[in-house]
Every structure is written in structure tokens, then in C-alpha cells.
Structure 1
Amino acid sequence: MSFWDERYDRADYIFGEAPNGFLAANAARLKGYSTALAVADGEGRNGVFLAEQGLEVLAIDASPVGLAKSAKLAAKRSVTLTTQCLDIGAYDWPEARFDVVAAIFIQFAPPAMRDAMFAGMVRTLAPGGLLLLEGYRPEQLGYGTGGPSQLENLYTEALLRQQFAGLEILSLESYDAELTEGAAHAGPSALIDLVARKPG
């Protein structure tokens, strides 16, 4: 069983059943869009939220255990979403396929894989499409309340501006906040949020 399968193999949801706060706060931006990709969606809290906003959602993740819980959560909330179990590093990021890409705390990826994923997200966004990304900044290592322990996996504003230079940045914010997202994301946290749109 993989690391993520082991983490998800429990009755409760380790990041909670409620959507990520940043994603929920941007719900109004989703109006008028029809398709969404939830990247590394784990147990499904964010993909299910996107489906609740009326979007046709594809949730991708490497953990079959997480995706099974995602389907269970969708049924509980009376929405449908499509799940696909795959190695995210090998995903083909179909060109201009999705109106919305949500990438919430996907910092398992080392720099080379991350760069390829970021390029893939830009590729798969349709013209006019929206990217919603939240992650931890390097200062998170001092808090130790979630996220990776590898400094190189964390995000800075300079990194995100460089990686998403081809998108129109609508909002890029660095701040500290108290997270209460299940047992795995709890306590003071050093966050960075990006909202960007693909020119179209």
C-alpha cells in the first residue's frame, strides 16, 4: 500500500469533508464555467465542492483509497464527479480541456515534477479559464502544522510569478492563518494563494 493509501485508509477524512477555505472563498469566480479539474484531489473535499457549484468535475489522484472516499463523499452530498486514478507525473494534461483547474496543497512534487505539473495546468486550461492554487510558503517549516518537510517543494511569490508568467494573475497573496482542515492541516500556517486566468 502506498504512503497516501495508508494515510487515507481510515474512517474519517484527514483533511476534513469541507472544502479548502481558499477555494470556497473563490466560489463566486466559478460562475459561468462548466468543467473543472481537481488535481491530486485525495479524499475529494475540493472536487465535491466544485461539483456542488454546478461544474462537471474530473478528480485525479494516485490513491485508489482516496478516490473511493471521494466517490463516497460525492454520494453523501448528492453530486457526481468523475475520478481517475493515475500517476500525476504521467498525466497528459489534455490541451484546453478545462475551464477551471484547482490545485490545493499539491506539494508532494519535487521541483522538476512540479514544473512539469504547472506547465500541464496551463496547457489544460481553456482560453479564459481559471487557475486556483494554494500552497505553503517556506516559513511553513517553522510551524510544522502540515505540508512537506522539503524546502524546495514550497512556494514563493517569485516562483509562482515565473511559473505562471503566461497567465493573467488576478490575485497573489502571502499570509499566515490558522487552518482547521481535518487532522492533517491544523494550526498556524504560512500560506500562499494564486488566482490566475488564461488569456483568451
Structure 2
Amino acid sequence: MWDERFAGDDYFYGTDANAFLRSQAALLPPSGTALSLAEGEGRNAVWLAQQGLTVTAVDASAVGLAKAGRLAAARGVSITPVVADLATWTFPAAAFDVVVAIFIQFAPPALRDRLFAGMIAALRPGGLLLLQGYRTEQLRYGTGGPKSAELLYTTDLLRRSFAPLAIERLEAHDDEIVEGQGHNGMSALVDLVARKPA
């Protein structure tokens, strides 16, 4: 499905990094390593590389990651693409200063629990987690994201799932987003900023 979605010349979710991610630029370390999950066509990974980070971009779609590589080259940076199914991929332990998860809402609850645990494990002590997703209220808007409530987030779910981290911001809000043809219009969002204890 993802190879087909990313097969065109255009970028399905656009080429600009997610607005929430960009808004957290001041929290990023000036150098270090970042992991961007379910990266797709590269918009967020490329932006992270432009901030001076060494970026690993993981996605199941080789087609998407090939486009990510082209976007990186066009913007004068490089990323490390990893074609992998996150259902079976082994998260490196304590390997990243930053972990980014933007709209990675393809996973049913059991797999989601595994992914969230992997994200926590992959952070170095003091490392930063940046996550944005759709809340269950997104079903009313229909402007992007999955059509199943079990794939969507609530603040309570994120608070429980990331309890091992120090949560610095957990905010539910409705805002209009414009991200290519994939995410477009008023949306029910939730933002999470958290750190792994040093």
C-alpha cells in the first residue's frame, strides 16, 4: 500500500516538515543522532538533518525512502534510510538523542505498545521524544489519518504509555494542517514532548 501511495512524482504529505516538529526546534541538540519513524518520503528526516543531526529514517516503503534520499540531496543534507517493517524491527538500545514519531498511526494496540516501548528504549538518557498524532475525535473531521478509533490516540493513552519518561508537554488541540494531499484541513491533534531521565 505504501509503495503505491508514494509512487507518484509528487510528495503525498508534502516536502515541508510537520509544523509541530518545526515548532520544537529550540529543544533539539545542536548535534547528535535522531531516529524518525515511519518516515515515508523524508520531509521530517530531511528537516532534522538540516538542523545538524545525524538522522536514521525508518520506513517499510523503499519507494518512499528513495524519494527521501532525493529530497535530502536536493537540500544539501544526507540521511540514513532503513527499509524495515516496524512490527519486527529491533530498536537499537539507548542509541538516539532524539526520537520523532509523526502520525505513525497504522498499528493496532498490541503493536502500538511494542512501538512505544521501542521508542523509549531507543532514547539515550536525557534524550528527547517528539510525537504528534490524531486523537479519536479526528473521525469527525475525516481530513487524514486512519478510519479506526483503535489506531488513534488520547492524552490518557499517551500519558500511560510514556510514563517512564518525564513528560514536558502533552496537549490536545484542534488545528488546521496542510501537509500535501495526505493531511489537509481541520484536525484533532495531540502533541507530546518528553525526555528520558538522565
Range of TM-score over shorter length: over 0.9
Unaligned runs of 5+ in 2: none
Q: What residue number does 1:119 align with?
A: 117
State the Cα deviation string for residues 5-37 of structure 1 (Å, max 9, x = none): 000000110100000000000011003441000
Q: What residue number does 2:23 align with?
A: 25
Alpha-carbon separation, structure 2, partners of 1:136 and 1:31 = 27
SS of aligned partner of 2:44 = helix
Which amino acid in 2 is paired with 1:86?
A: A
Aligned pairs (5 A) from 1:19-58: 19-58=17-56
Q: What residue number does 1:6 align with?
A: 4
SS of aligned partner of 2:144 = coil
Q: What residue number does 2:58 align with?
A: 60
Among 171, 187, 190, the residue aligned to 1:192:
190
Contact residue 141 and residue 186 of structure 2 kept, 8 A: yes
- Range 23-32 or range 164-173, more displaced: 23-32
Contact residue 30 and residue 51 of structure 2 kept, 8 A: no
Q: What residue number does 1:78 align with?
A: 76
Q: Which runs of 4+ in 1 moved over 3 A?
A: none
Among 97, 100, 110, the residue aligned to 1:99:
97
Q: What residue number does 1:130 align with?
A: 128
Unaligned runs of 5+ in 1: none
In structure 2, relative to structure 1, the CA distance for the partners of 1:98 and 1:30 (3 Å cut) is same
State the Cα deviation string for residues 124-170 of structure 1 (Å, max 9, x = none): 00000000000000000000000001101100010000000000001
Contact residue 33 and residue 100 of structure 1 kept, 8 A: no
Aligned sequence identity (%) = 59
Q: What residue number does 2:175 align with?
A: 177
CA RMSD of aligned residues (A): 0.6
Q: What residue number does 2:150 align with?
A: 152
Q: 1:108 aligned to 2:94?
A: no
